[in-house]
Structure 1
Amino acid sequence: MSAPAAGDAGAAGSDAEWAARARSALAEHAKALAERFDAAVDVDRLVAERSRVVDRHVLEAWQACIPVDAPLALFAVGGYGRGELFPHSDIDLLVLSGEDLGATGDTRHEDALSRFFTRLWDAGLPVGHAVRSAAQCTEAAAQDITVMTAILESRPLAAGAADRRALQEAVAPTRAWPANAFFEAKRQELRERHARHGDTSDNLEPNLKDGPGGLRDVQTLHWMALRIIGTSDLESLVAVGQLGADEVASLERERKSLSRLRFGLHLLARKHEERLRFDYQKRLAERLGYTDSDGTLAVEKMMQGFYRSASLVQRISERLLQRFEEQIEGEAIPQPLDEAFELRRGYLAARDDAWPRAAEDVFALFATWAGHDAVRGLHSQTARALAEALPEFPDYASAGTAMHQAFMGLLRGPEPVATLTRMARLGVLGRWIPAFARVSGRMQFDLFHVYTVDQHTLAVLKNLAIFASGSHDERFTLASEVWPRLRKPELLLLAGLFHDIGKGRGGDHSELGAEDARVFCDTIGLSGAESGLVEWLVRRHLLMSTTAQKQDITDPGVIHRFATEVADRDRLDHLYLLTCADIAGTSPKLWNAWKDRLLADLYTATRLALRRGLEHPLAATERAAENREAARAMLAAFGTGDEEIEALFERMPEIGFQRGRPDHLAWQALSLRGIRSGDVRVRVRPVAAHASALEVFVHSPDRDGLFDAIVATLDRLGLAIQQARVHDGPDGTIFDSFEVLPSDPRHVPAEQEVEQRLESTLTGTIDDVRPPRRTQPSHLRHFRTAPQIDFDETRPRLTQISLVCTDRPGLLAEVTRTFRTQALRVHEARIATFGARAEDLFQVSRVDAEGNDRPLDEPQRQALRQALLACIEGE
């Protein structure tokens, strides 16, 4: 082996002096690159220049440290081998030795190599290295596909022709990873990498390098092409028919877009960072020149660009992976499905080379796809033909009746949600409904919506598909029962498709979406009643959610108003299913047992109100009588005698019979067995079908600070209150009910532990019970919600407080302690969290000299406002 002549190390000064000069020069160059980046210089030039500058310093160190006659050669590998270095990318080096170092005990060159690598590290270069002989390269590459991949992109820095040939031969297909094995291994690696990122690029904090559709996907195509075709130049793949010129242009455009994001991210993070975290998103958007406009933040525009780039990379990548598979395995024998389509190795392909000849052919493709379970996906040749035809594909407004009917046929046919998902992924849905294209890749910069609008919409549709499947999902109590009542399920699918389509236009997205839905439905020929239902569902798709979470659905007046708005059972069925699907499709963490029961209870109560007739609203006394009799029947079934039932009922507050459920009342009554009015009794039970959700009942003598102590204790137990009801019982007792969920689903306290901890707290001194102090998660600081505190008097003798602010651990416990310091009594709490935003409602009162509840007067409201602001902002 040979190496360039070593320079005079002494003339260059000491290693420390050289490292200091190199560090300073590299820092100056990095600063210049950052300035050129901000001046919009092409990112490929920047990463290449960074690589060339590093080359010079690496070679200087090599020549100063490695003797000219040493049997060593130096190669850049990995991304550095490609000649691409981002500001804080690793610098991977391979030293090729003419002998197996260490195998013979020869350590002659170890000191020189150690000095070489130390020089680079001292200069601030993040060097990773390996020292191997050719035989060791073969062995390491054969055992580890990542080593093989790194060597595949090797670039000589200090190596002669013989060295280069030796390294090429060491990883030749005959020695390690022949083309077919390499392809399968890299494809599996890609799948596993995608799975680690949730199989979607639409994460709130996406990984620009390793996430689905990221730069690693593009690099994987280059590696496969190099091993299978013999070239990593994508343009050369056009000549051999593996890629179309338009596909190459699209890949290069999106690769550059992703590279620019990654370069800017490295600059902002000042370290090797590949995940586009909230910490950097707004600043990067500003640095890249994005600005806010009506309805859309600058950061949302930047992220939409990323999501669209990643989606296109994935789409083209899937096609090229198929073509590589065919290159290795050869053309498959087609299996005809009908006159127009066939299967090729399980992929759906058009039999006509000139397909599609008409726009209707596209919908025929999706109809055939939906009708055959054996289809693995769309054949790359047909996928490319579809992509090329998309610019001429009409939208629904300019299409004819035949296409309108064909589209509705897809919604009424097998697997309609899968069909819509495929159409969205392949770009067809955005062409057919232009408004859907506008929300494709659109993110909302908050922690409530964890998906882009289009992906959220598809998630909602997938939830509807679960309801339609007929199998019971325990997460949704009534959904599988309600779905069969729908006469035309396709109308609910249309409502799900349009419910958020108006987002980002600067107005009420429900109103804008309803207008779009009405025009669409009328245009494609739905009847007035059908169009009206879809329009109403889109316009009022938040009605059931807000009613259930922000109002007292045990109040007959609330049920009557909601039922009046809904008007009929058909609307109610559709709205219930859409609401469940919408909430569950917003975030995996948002749907929980409490929301399931709230919606199920609201649905059941409203259905009864509609059956009774809106002209016959149920009075509170009637509801109390019905609940009392139903609870009595349940207690009798448990063997409780009439005399005992009456005695238990006399110890319970009347308002409980007006607002409670019969099973809840019977459970509370049984909890009172064996105790006196002055005793503390706590009982806990799981919410039906939801083991992690708990219902907590507390009976205790009333005293100041009791509610605050209960909330603080539950907080210490790791239980988050979703709803609280506080009723005054006879003889100075309280009947408090809490719906709670574990803050961490992995740690659910046992029911007995909750009972014991609460009883211990309430039988002792409660003055010193304090909520735990917790630090706010760092990511919440990027989603500040300006505090909003409003007062209203919706019930006699009570004041309703609406509190909106940034959520944080322990917030509720601190708020209730503020109520205590203001000498207020809490009667009800409804707790709702939307990402980083808390929206809580409290019914409170002050107590006059006679012990009666009174609403807050204006001075008391202002004092409470200031105290709450101090509590919220004094984090």
Structure 2
Amino acid sequence: MSSSAPSSTLAEHYAGESAKVRYAFETTGDGLAAARERSKLVDKVVTQLYRDLLSPDPAGPGNFCLVAVGGYGRQELFPYSDVDLLFLSESGRVSESFRQPVAAMARALWDLRLRVGHSARTLAECGRLHRDNLEFSISLLDCRFLAGDQDLFGRLRNEVIPELMARHRHELVGDLLEVTRERHEKHGSTIFHLEPNLKEAPGGLRDYHVSRWLALIWELDRSGRWMSPESQWPLPLRAPAVQAFEFLAGTRCFLHYRQERDANVLTYELQDQAASLGIGHGSASARKADAPALAPADWMRAYFRHARSIDRLTAQLLDGASPSRSSLYGLFQDWRSRLSSADFSVVRGRIFPRRPAALADVGTVLSLFEMVARHKIELSHEAERWVEEALRAVADRAPAYPGTWEHLRRILVLPHAPEALRAMHRLGLLVALFPEFRAIDALVVRDFYHRYTVDEHSFMTIQNLHDLGGRSSPPPSAAGESWEPKFSEVLAELEQPELLFFSLLFHDVGKGKPGGDHVRGSLEAMGKIFARLGIEPQDRETICFLIQNHLEMSATFQRRDIF
């Protein structure tokens, strides 16, 4: 071609084949298949332009090649995802000689309305750690050959990248952990947003890829070999994470096609549409004509269940990959080993069970979370599996366990109760003890009061109260007189703060029950819970009073200055 503009034939081919990919997705609902088919289509376009603008011989020229990286390299090219290309050369001299054709090829791809991210690097540059551009170094883990000198690509994949991972594994992993932590904090460090970003939020697609990268880095450092990263994941977490990825892939395709751009936030409107189409559950056309559409709340529960699977996998791999802390921190963790008990050992700041799960009872399991709430010790992966196995053995008698209230009232007032409660919920203990809580598990309620799912909202209220109790002065940035010290003083004067925390835990369980009066539903649920727990009559009255009147504070705040 004499011009960098793509031929009308190529443009028509790309448009026609893109329409076929979209039709196939709308027919089958298979987002991964759509992403792979679009990758194959873009492969044809890119290699044709390569022949037209750089080399008539797709295996040439020598010492120069074209490489797909990032999501394109993984063949996960969603409808409006960027096309990331690496123009790789042996030396700067070779790279400079192709500067104009490379620019022309990028313009041609933009003319096709493809969002292109391209870079030209030498082999030596790819072998250096780019601390100011972590994304590039990580993107090499997903490299894939497209055209040009295949021997040069072989050196990149089989020599340069493994050596880079072995030489700079600690720096790469440390930077990846820090970037992931910052991203999680930006999204509130929770998966339970009412309108989540399914790519960037915790438990989203980015976390799935972080899990892949960590496994690849570890294996390349250990053996220098390329292996399927999923095969390196813990077996119990592997299948749920892969299923979650398939669900998210279908959902992301739906979002891109529906909005015609790279937008990844599940708004309420799009949740309704995704539920009606059964996105992630097969195609709407494949379902029986008389089958009812999914309710948006049920569809979002499926989303959160999948996000939990990815979040748990990522947390475990990030924990295992964390660089060693300072010797002082290690001494502190060793000192905490003195917190070990007859049932649990504390080793380097993590709890490990000492007895088989088959011998555990509900009280022993609750004692584990009491340690978490008291000392903020993290559960080991063995402890998490132990809890799940123990619950399978005692699930039928867990709700009637007579010592639940004595354990729970201690947990609720301990300084790290929110962390313990979230762990209890994540591992299924909270629902095993209180089947009533299942009604609000990952429940989306769209109203003025909620930013998170109802269960996370309940945990967040408890967390905010604990934070308030530990605050003796207003935040440094607070302007004027702060209300927080006043409420902190009131909280400190409570004789039985566990009743307030218990009320908060269950104040919204009625939102998972039919009917419009959730306060009444919550009180009905509490009647059943009281019957099992044996709470004193006067304490029951206090709890019911708090639940019955929990909306009064928000109403008062909106109408008058209480100070």
TMscore range, shorter length: 0.7 to 0.9
Q: 1:393 to 1:411 in 2, by over 3 A?
A: farther
The DSSP-based 3-state class of the residue aligned with 2:195 is: coil
1:370 aligns with 2:360: no
Q: 1:470 to 1:548 in 2, by over 3 A?
A: closer
Contact 1:38 1:287 in 2 (8 A): no
The DSSP-based 3-state class of the residue aligned with 1:112 is: helix
1:21-420 correspondence runs (5 A): 21-67=9-55, 68=57, 69-71=60-62, 72-101=64-93, 107-139=96-128, 141=130, 144-168=133-157, 169-173=159-163, 178-230=168-220, 233-237=228-232, 243-244=234-235, 246-278=236-268, 280-288=270-278, 298-325=295-322, 335=337, 337-352=340-355, 354=357, 357-373=360-376, 375=377, 377-394=378-395, 398-411=399-412, 415-420=416-421
Contact 1:140 1:147 in 2 (8 A): no
Aligned to 1:456: 457
Alpha-carbon offset, residue 465 of structure 1 = 2.1
The DSSP-based 3-state class of the residue aligned with 2:509 is: coil
Alpha-carbon offset, residue 471 of structure 1 = 3.1
Q: 1:389 to 1:160 in 2, by over 3 A?
A: farther
> Counterpart of 1:121 in structure 2: which amino acid?
W
Aligned residues: 527
The DSSP-based 3-state class of the residue aligned with 1:130 is: strand
Contact 2:4 2:105 in 1 (8 A): no
The DSSP-based 3-state class of the residue aligned with 2:163 is: coil
Q: Give, in whole Å, the separation in 1 of the partners of 2:38 and 2:357.
A: 47
Alpha-carbon offset, residue 175 of structure 1 = 7.4
Q: 1:207 to 1:24 in 2, by over 3 A?
A: same
Contact 1:517 1:538 in 2 (8 A): no
Runs of 4+ in 1 over 6 A off after TM superposition: 326-329, 331-334
Residues 750-801 of structure 1: per-residue CA shift (max 9 Å, x gap):
xxxxxxxxxxxxxxxxxxxxxxxxxxxxxxxxxxxxxxxxxxxxxxxxxxxx
Residues 219-276 of structure 1: per-residue CA shift (max 9 Å, x gap):
0010010010235634422xxxx502x3101111212222222111111110111233
Contact 1:308 1:440 in 2 (8 A): no
1:528 aligns with 2:537: yes
Q: Give, in whole Å, the separation in 2 of the partners of 1:435 and 1:372.
A: 28
Alpha-carbon offset, residue 44 of structure 1 = 1.8
Q: 1:338 to 1:118 in 2, by over 3 A?
A: same
> Counterpart of 2:36 in structure 1: which amino acid?
A
- Name the TM-score, length of structure 2 as normaliser: 0.84
- Name the TM-score, length of structure 1 as normaliser: 0.55
Q: Give, in whole Å, the separation in 2 of the partners of 1:328 and 1:412.
A: 30
Alpha-carbon offset, residue 88 of structure 1 = 0.5
Residues 569-621 of structure 1: per-residue CA shift (max 9 Å, x gap):
xxxxxxxxxxxxxxxxxxxxxxxxx5xx33x5xxxxxxxxxxxxxxxxxxxxx
Q: Give, in whole Å, the separation in 1 of the partners of 2:412 and 2:448.
A: 32
- Mean Cα displacement is larger for which, 447-456 or 53-62? 447-456
Q: 1:472 to 1:425 in 2, by over 3 A?
A: farther
Residues 48-67 of structure 1: per-residue CA shift (max 9 Å, x gap):
11111111111111122222
Residues 133-185 of structure 1: per-residue CA shift (max 9 Å, x gap):
10122236465321111111100111444212321323333577532222222
Alpha-carbon offset, residue 509 of structure 1 = 0.6
Alpha-carbon offset, residue 111 of structure 1 = 3.2
Q: Give, in whole Å, the separation in 1 of the partners of 2:74 and 2:15.
A: 22
Residues 48-94 of structure 1: per-residue CA shift (max 9 Å, x gap):
11111111111111122222352321111001111111001101011
Q: 1:233 to 1:357 in 2, by over 3 A?
A: farther
> Counterpart of 2:451 in structure 1: which amino acid?
V
Residues 519-560 of structure 1: per-residue CA shift (max 9 Å, x gap):
11221111222223322322332245446756xxxxxxxxxx
Q: Give, in whole Å, the separation in 2 of the partners of 1:453 and 1:436.
A: 10
Contact 1:91 1:126 in 2 (8 A): yes
Alpha-carbon offset, residue 478 of structure 1 = 4.3
Q: Which has the higher contact order (CA 8 A, sep 6+)?
A: 2
1:537 aligns with 2:537: no
The DSSP-based 3-state class of the residue aligned with 2:351 is: strand
Q: 1:133 to 1:368 in 2, by over 3 A?
A: same
Aligned to 2:289: none
Residues 379-421 of structure 1: per-residue CA shift (max 9 Å, x gap):
1222233345444553787432134543344336564444323
The DSSP-based 3-state class of the residue aligned with 1:209 is: coil
The DSSP-based 3-state class of the residue aligned with 2:445 is: coil
Unaligned stretches of 5+ residues in structure 1: 1-8, 551-593, 601-875
> Counterpart of 1:84 in structure 2: which amino acid?
E
Q: Give, in whole Å, the separation in 1 of the partners of 2:412 and 2:239.
A: 35
State the superposition RMSD in angstroms. 3.3
State, as a whole percentage, how many aligned pairs show the same letter: 29
The DSSP-based 3-state class of the residue aligned with 1:157 is: strand
The DSSP-based 3-state class of the residue aligned with 2:403 is: helix
Q: 1:545 to 1:161 in 2, by over 3 A?
A: closer
The DSSP-based 3-state class of the residue aligned with 1:202 is: coil
Larger radius of gyration: 1
Residues 427-470 of structure 1: per-residue CA shift (max 9 Å, x gap):
42233222323312222234542221112111211233245447
Alpha-carbon offset, residue 499 of structure 1 = 0.8
Contact 2:374 2:411 in 1 (8 A): no
Q: 1:454 to 1:542 in 2, by over 3 A?
A: same
Contact 1:395 1:434 in 2 (8 A): no
Contact 1:94 1:131 in 2 (8 A): yes
The DSSP-based 3-state class of the residue aligned with 2:216 is: helix
> Counterpart of 1:134 in structure 2: which amino acid?
L
The DSSP-based 3-state class of the residue aligned with 1:349 is: strand
Contact 1:213 1:312 in 2 (8 A): yes
Q: 1:490 to 1:522 in 2, by over 3 A?
A: farther
Q: 1:398 to 1:369 in 2, by over 3 A?
A: closer
Contact 1:203 1:450 in 2 (8 A): yes
Contact 1:173 1:179 in 2 (8 A): no
Q: 1:452 to 1:92 in 2, by over 3 A?
A: same
Alpha-carbon offset, residue 476 of structure 1 = 4.0
1:655-666 correspondence runs (5 A): none
Contact 1:304 1:441 in 2 (8 A): yes
- Mean Cα displacement is larger for which, 27-36 or 387-396? 387-396
> Counterpart of 2:43 in structure 1: which amino acid?
D
Q: Give, in whole Å, the separation in 1 of the partners of 2:439 and 2:19.
A: 38
